[in-house]
Homo-oligomer: A and B are copies of this chain.
Amino acid sequence: MNNFEYCNPVRVVFGKNTIAKLADLIDPARTILLLYGGGSIKKNGVYEQVQAALKGRKVIEFAGIEPNPRYETCMKAVELARKEKVDFLLSVGGGSVLDGTKFIAGAIPFTGGDPWQILTSGGGALQSALPIGAVLTLPATGSEMNCFSVISRDSTQEKLAFGNPKVYPAFSILDPEITYSLPQNQLRNGIVDAFVHVMEQYATYSINTPLQDRQAEAVVRTLIDVAPDVLSKKDYDSRANFMWAATHALNGIISCGVVEDWSTHMIGHELTAFFGVAHAESLAIVLPGMWQHQFANKKDKLAQLARRIWHVVDGNVDTQARAAIEKTAAFFHSVNMPTRLSDYNISKTDIEKVIERFRQRGTTLGEHQAIRADQIREILTLCL
């Protein structure tokens, strides 16, 4: 096991009718900026629940934070927050609204130029941040219990991530009932996003971390088991188990002391930045190709995954690992998630844009830092 530090101060408030607890969770003296997305919270009753809990408080609203939240939009919220002297940010929405809120929280007090530096520095340039609370409406990104954020910038077609402990939400309210109104494609995306988060922290090479391996498998097994019910009915337990599993997929517990590889995310981000595919869609495209290409590095853990999750007993490590790749793709297909670039009409020529960007940045990816632009071409070719 590698040395590690773990400290996650988020207060998770989980269960039915928990939005009303906002009244106790936010100091009445605060001026709140309520941030949300495209307005679905006004159709499913969440907006009314939030307003009821915050009755009598000073609340300013900012709507319109989009999926893959845009720097340009966030900076409008920053301007509003500064003007209104806001001192608490409440995100009501999915991971995108919360990621946007995290960036806004750091950008409001940012001095010394363009807050985009928070992104280009990976979070190192963040100086301080306003306190954040969250009401989560979509289980997927794990943003509700971590200090990470991903922001896109139109003008440069960039999608960058940052992390900083200062943007941990003070609290996150998770009410599984408010997921009932989610459309099928968002549920599907959430399941796949959480699945791939686990795999980025698991499918590398083993350094003898049996507890973390089994904790990761616990999340994946839960996602696979609940997926059919999540997609076919409005059942409390399925939604609750999905929601808590998605949180655990990226709250830092399963990555303690292990070897991680976020290559699939890094390449997926570029597919979103250039071609507009949803985040989870990009991951479902890249992951199987990544595993094929990196087979030698990852096969031991993939074989373990096949044995423990899909009860593959026959064959050797190689055949078991191949079974894990096939069964992962089959799982994605079972939730109606495409796994090919061609499903989105992205061609061999198109991917050169992605490769060129990695070449320019000089990025190296992978648990052995051995994936460069040329390897990314080979990987994406396997994903066509």
Q: Is A384 positioned at the interface, with any CB of B under 8 Å from its CB?
A: no
Q: Tell me whether A222 is interfacial, beta carbon within 8 Å.
A: yes
Q: Is A51 an interface residue (CB 8 A)?
A: no
Whether a CB of chain B sits under 8 angstroms from the CB of A28 is: no
Contact of A222 among B171, B211, B240 (CB under 8 A): B211
- List B contacts of A219 (CB < 8 A): 211
Is A57 interfacial (CB-CB < 8 Å)? no
Q: Mark A10-29, 1 if CB is under 8 A from B, else 0.
A: 11111110100000000000
Q: A377 near B: Cβ within 8 Å?
A: no
Identical copies of this chain, number: 2
| Interfacial chain B residues near A13, Cβ < 8 Å | 5
Per the bound structure, the CA–CA distance linking A18 and B18 in Å amounts to 40
Whether A12 contacts B5 by the Cβ 8 Å rule is yes
> B4, B9, B171, B225: which contacts A9 (Cβ < 8 A)?
B9
Measured between beta carbons, the chain B residues less than 8 angstroms from A225 are 210
Residue from B2, B5, B221, B244 within 8 A of A256 (CB atoms): B244
User: How many A residues, CB 8 Å from partner?
Assistant: 41
CB nearest neighbor in B for A222: B211
Q: Which of B12, B210, B211, B241 contacts A6 (CB 8 A)?
A: B12
Tell whether A370 is near chain B: CB-to-CB under 8 Å: no
A240's nearest neighbour on chain B, judged by CB, is B1
Give per-residue flags for A195-209: 1 if the beta carbon is below 8 A from chain B beta carbons, else 0. 000000000000011
A4 to B15 Cα, complex, angstroms: 7
Measured in the bound complex, the distance between the Cα atoms of B256 and A214 in whole Å is 18
10 A-B residue pairings within 8 Å (CB atoms): A1-B14, A3-B15, A4-B12, A5-B12, A6-B14, A7-B11, A211-B241, A214-B218, A244-B256, A253-B253
